[in-house]
Amino acid sequence: MSDPQNSPRSEPRSVLVTGGNRGIGRAIAEAFLAQGDRVAVTTRSGGAPEGALDVRCDITDPAAVEAAFAQVEEAHGPVEVLVANAGITADTLLLRMSDDDWASVIDTNLTGSFRLAKRASKGMLRLRRGRIVFISSVVGLLGSAGQVNYAASKAGLVGMARSIARELGSRSITANVVAPGFIETDMTAVLTDEQKDAIKGQVPLGRYGTADEVAQTVLWLTGPGAAYVTGAVVPVDGGLGMGH
Ligand code: NDP
């Protein structure tokens, strides 16, 4: 039986990557660009990689998300692949965590991803196909002292992806989660050498991951080889989170 979702892909797709001006998001956007897709990158500060449509959008602002989709659809057609990657941290211990620390992280990482997935699914439902990937984190499943807000937001993505997988699976729309471990980016550059060594000591592969290693997993999940994969949590963590 011929199924376009299972056939090798030749047509470029409309891909939207949030937070694609640096770090993991940039590597993801560059990987899609390298395979010839039409890539849009949304950020607050701009600086998308060359070849991508550079769209300003604060994902905590529903009107900005709507405007960004309108801009992307106008330039590239309906979004066929959404990678909800934009995320922030506001780390502190539970007793010191303010309502603002909690709300800003949940609003960006979890509610922002909800807004994006909801808006993207409109076009995907019409197309009767689509791929949604949420960038979570190993700490969403392991927990992490000092990251109650962040871990909760990243764990929330798992329930969200699995619910979307159930709601939209009959329309050939998949929703999956990638859970990176420690990856060399601006987000982890703030750690001290001591903290970095302690982390590496717990990683079976004994090193940090690269943003490109995350990007290659996203490419696979959105490519023909993963047409029958949905509701999955795929770790890219050097074995740090094994067992979850
Ligand atoms: P960076 O801090 O390097 O980049 C974060 C990106 O998100 C930037 O492009 C930033 O762009 C964008 N962003 C942040 N807030 C908003 C917002 N409100 N609206 C729109 N865009 C926003 O992070 P990483 O590359 O390290 O992380 C990317 C993702 O991977 C995050 O979700 C993170 O939680 C996750 N992750 C990272 C790990 C790591 O070790 N680095 C490990 C596990 C998960 P701008 O500031 O211009 O808006």
Q: Write down the catalytic residue from 150, 168, 174, 175.
A: 150
Nearest CA to ligand 1 atom 32: 87
State if residue 85 touches ligand 1 by the CB under 6 angstroms criterion: yes
Residues in the chain: 244
Per-residue pLDDT at 2 exceeds 60: no
CA geometry: angle at 230 spanning 84 and 169, to 5°? Answer: 100
Q: Look up the pTM and report it.
A: 0.96
State if residue 182 touches ligand 1 by the CB under 6 angstroms criterion: yes
Q: Where are the domains of the chain?
A: 14-236
State if residue 29 touches ligand 1 by the CB under 6 angstroms criterion: no
Q: Specify whether 150 is catalytic.
A: yes
Find the DSSP H helices in the chain.
23-34, 62-76, 99-105, 112-127, 139-142, 148-168, 186-189, 193-202, 211-222
Per-residue pLDDT at 4 exceeds 70: no
Looking at residue 190, its pLDDT comes to: 86
CATH architecture, domain defined by 14-236: 3-Layer(aba) Sandwich (3.40)
Nearest CA to ligand 1 atom 27: 24
Task: Give the model confidence (pLDDT) of 151-165 as tens digits.
Answer: 999 999 999 999 999
Task: Give the model confidence (pLDDT) of 82-139 as tens digits.
Answer: 999 999 999 999 999 999 999 999 999 999 999 999 999 999 999 999 999 999 999 9
State if residue 137 touches ligand 1 by the CB under 6 angstroms criterion: yes
Q: What is the mean pLDDT of the chain?
A: 95
Instruction: Give distance in angstroms: CA of 197 to centre of ligand 1.
Output: 23
